[in-house]
Amino acid sequence: MKMTPLIVTYNRLEKLQKSLAATLALPFDSIVVIDNDSTDGTREWLKAQSDPRLHCCFSPVNSGGAGGFSRGVAYIAENLTTDWVVFYDDDAWPDPSFIDNFSRIVDGRYELYCARVLSAEGRLCPMNVPWSAPQDTFFAAIHSLVNKHAFIPDPDTPGGVCTFSFVGAIVSSRLIRESGDLIEKDFFIYFDDVCYSWRLYCQGNPILYHPELIMHHDVPSAVSDLPAWKHYYLLRNLLVFRRLRDCPPLFGRTATALRIAHSLLRAMKSPQRLYCLRLLVKAVWHAYSGKRPMPGKPGL
């Protein structure tokens, strides 16, 4: 069984070095790193690496995680022979038990898996928890607001889910070849993984979450407030995702309205209130007009 990690990096050389050291320590058959036009010496460091398993692709622009994973999937489909592709960012790495556990867990009924992702403190990483059910009705949205745990898997129990995070997702090579164009590369960051996995799920591909597939993600357990420009992508991509015609919405009107209200509340509490509100207006405008700004921080 051949496995290929796909790692996207941008200007985080120190984190990438840690991630790649842990990755190279495992018997992966090949490893693909997509450098998103880093300016911190990442390109030069990668070119100096000698491990023959390492394949490095250098993007001429920073296309974000979405563009990087899209580019990586295309590269693997065209250039490598593998059975499985493991997705993660440059601040994440697989546990030493990862390959052995996957070899034992792999089941012919599944071509999609997702891992238990642990934070820097060794606790469950909230940003990488998959959804186990859609919030596509009024009652589901209200239920999720009251009890979010009803819509995510039990962290200690294997079970089916309907989305995954790009930190710890495992996708069969067959699906990689057939579905690479389903990654919304214009999303830059946020919802690219949820959108991709939901599309695959809606096409009849079940996803298995398994707690013995462990990934480490070097981020805090507590979710801190995001910069305003990141909330732009959260809102814009959510609205674009809702309007896709090739799959039913994961988030219904009520769930979407609640998320918009949360973004507005956060903007009103910000010291940069007018700037935050302007970005949220841009997010809605760009989502419904089809306009896409250059990747990066919009309006800056």
* Amino acid 129: pLDDT: 95
Give the SS3 label for residue 265: helix
* Amino acid 293: pLDDT: 63
- What residue ranges do the domains of the chain occupy? 3-217, 228-289
| Least reliable range by pLDDT among 67-81, 207-221, 224-238 | 224-238
Confidence of residue 140 (pLDDT cuts 50, 70, 90): very high
Q: Which residue in the block uniquely carries the two structure tokens 């690479």? A: 180
Rounded (10°) angle between helices 273-289 and 228-242: 20
* Amino acid 3: pLDDT: 97
Average pLDDT over the chain reads 92
Model confidence pLDDT, tens digit, residues 58-103:
999 999 999 999 999 999 999 999 999 999 999 999 999 999 999 9
DSSP codes of every residue in 137-151: SHHHHHHHHH-GGGG
Which DSSP category does 135 fall into?
B
* Average pLDDT of the residues in 4-30: 97
- Look at residues 151, 44, 285 and name the one whose alpha carbon lies nearest to residue 16: 44
Helix (H) or strand (E) holding 215: strand 207-217
C-beta of residue 298 within 8 angstroms of C-beta of residue 229: yes
Model confidence pLDDT, tens digit, residues 255-281:
999 988 988 888 888 787 888 888 888
CATH class of the region 3-217: alpha beta
